């Protein structure tokens, strides 16, 4: 397996599909521009790649998971747009570019987010899969992105600003705010493949460990990184008085935790033939420097 090639191929497939969505955009041009600005801003596409690769691992064609993959990336993108708003995290930079509301204004940024979130479910319901699988996908993604998942996590995150949270509280926030969507990526891939419940649970468990490792690495990079590399203000968590595990337990302990979690992720899938890509992906994400 050529990891780099497969990663680039997957990224290209996702990119082309997202570009097609923006090109065939059915609403007002100004809205399409604002949605496209954030959707096509060169993210790593980790979440949709997880969808495609888990689907492939369990014997599905990655194309049949593509609507799920695009929907997930659209929901991830909407959450970044809304999180960056002045009334939320008030960020000016995202992926090295001005945030959506800096370019298009607050009203358009709210609507671009709403549009991406809504269109995601349209796309999901129009795939080539049997209706039962699409329905399960819709429910899975809505629960992960909704009040008990990502939206709820953002509420807890904002509520926790300015006070020191305990490690379990930080874990809970990150599980909801970031982890839920990464776990949903794995589940969506499994659902698209028509996998067994055991396969879906293994993939979900892999994604939970990978998601936690990913988030801790993100927090380490926030402290260590340079603005140019990360494309966002360094130390922005500190500035907003956000509690992170890194502030609480220090970088060495967190580095160790990333390693343990990554081993746990790999262990979940190692027994499945063809899991090399996903195992390598977990290891690469653990070691990433941006």
155-194 binders of a second copy (CB under 8 A): 155-156, 158-159
Q: What residues have CB less than 8 Å from 119, skipping those under 6 apart?
A: 21, 35, 74
Query: With CB under 8 A as the contact rule, which of the stretches 20-28, 183-191, 217-225, 242-250 interacts with a second copy?
Result: 20-28
**Dist. CA 94–CA 192, nearest whole Å:** 31
73-92 binders of a second copy (CB under 8 A): 78, 82, 85, 87-88
In angstroms, give the least distance from the CB of 147 to a second copy: 3
| Of residues 121 and 272, the one with the C-beta less far from a second copy | 121
- Concatenated DSSP letters of 21-85: HHHT--S-HHHHHHHHHHHTS----HHHHHHHHHHHHTT--GGGGHHHHHHHHHHHHHHHHHHTS
Query: With CB under 8 A as the contact rule, which of the stretches 48-56, 152-160, 204-212, 253-261 interacts with a second copy?
Result: 152-160
Query: With CB under 8 A as the contact rule, which of the stretches 53-61, 102-110, 218-226, 278-286 interacts with a second copy?
Result: 102-110
Instruction: Determine, following the binding rule CB under 8 A, whether residue 25 of this chain makes contact with a second copy.
Output: yes
Cβ-contact 99, 112 below 8 angstroms:
no
Instruction: Determine, following the binding rule CB under 8 A, whether residue 152 of this chain makes contact with a second copy.
Output: yes
Q: Which of 275, 265, 253 is nearest to 214 (CA)?
A: 265
Tokens 């479910």 belong to 121
Q: Sign of dihedral through CA atoms 133, 47, 1, 259?
A: negative
Return the SS3 of 193: helix
Cβ-contact 287, 226 below 8 angstroms:
no
| Of residues 7 and 119, the one with the C-beta less far from a second copy | 119
Instruction: Determine, following the binding rule CB under 8 A, whether residue 121 of this chain makes contact with a second copy.
Output: yes
Instruction: Determine, following the binding rule CB under 8 A, whether residue 100 of this chain makes contact with a second copy.
Output: no
Question: Which of 8, 12, 19, 28 touches a second copy (CB under 8 A)?
Answer: 28
Which tokens go with 167?
């490690």
Question: Which of 12, 20, 61, 148 touches a second copy (CB under 8 A)?
Answer: 148
| Of residues 111 and 269, the one with the C-beta less far from a second copy | 111
Q: Sign of dihedral through CA atoms 207, 209, 212, 214?
A: negative
In angstroms, give the least distance from the CB of 53 to a second copy: 24
Instruction: Determine, following the binding rule CB under 8 A, whether residue 135 of this chain makes contact with a second copy.
Output: yes
**Dist. CA 205–CA 263, nearest whole Å:** 12
Instruction: Determine, following the binding rule CB under 8 A, whether residue 59 of this chain makes contact with a second copy.
Output: no
Binding site for a second copy (CB under 8 A): 25-28, 30-32, 35, 78, 82, 85, 87-88, 105-108, 110-111, 113-115, 117-122, 124-126, 130-132, 134-136, 138-139, 141-143, 145-149, 151-152, 154-156, 158-159
């Amino acid at each position: 397996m050529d990891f780099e090639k497969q990663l680039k191929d997957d990224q290209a497939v996702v990119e082309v599909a997202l570009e097609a969505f923006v090109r065939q955009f059915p609403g007002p041009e100004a809205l399409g521009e604002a949605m496209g600005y954030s959707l096509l801003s060169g993210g790593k596409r980790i979440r949709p790649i997880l969808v495609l690769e888990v689907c492939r691992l369990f014997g599905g064609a990655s194309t049949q998971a593509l609507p799920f993959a695009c929907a997930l990336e659209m929901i991830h993108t909407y959450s970044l747009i809304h999180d960056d708003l002045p009334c939320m995290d008030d960020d000016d930079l995202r992926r090295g570019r001005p945030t959506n509301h800096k370019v298009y204004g607050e009203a358009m940024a709210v609507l671009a987010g709403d549009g991406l979130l809504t269109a995601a479910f349209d796309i999901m319901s129009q795939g080539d899969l049997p209706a039962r699988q699409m329905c399960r996908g819709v429910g899975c993604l809505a629960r992960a992105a909704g009040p008990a998942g990502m939206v709820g996590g953002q509420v807890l995150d904002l509520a926790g600003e300015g006070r020191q949270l305990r490690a379990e509280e930080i874990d809970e926030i990150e599980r909801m705010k970031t982890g839920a969507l990464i776990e949903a990526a794995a589940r969506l891939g499994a659902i698209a493949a028509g996998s067994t419940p055991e396969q879906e649970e293994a993939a979900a468990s892999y994604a939970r460990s990978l998601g936690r490792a990913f988030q801790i690495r993100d927090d380490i990079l926030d402290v260590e990184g340079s603005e140019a590399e990360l494309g966002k203000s360094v130390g922005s968590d500190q500035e907003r008085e956000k509690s992170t595990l890194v502030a609480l337990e220090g970088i060495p302990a967190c580095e160790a935790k990333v390693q343990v979690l990554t081993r746990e992720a790999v262990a979940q899938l190692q027994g499945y033939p063809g899991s090399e890509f996903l195992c390598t992906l977990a290891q690469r994400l653990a070691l990433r420097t941006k």
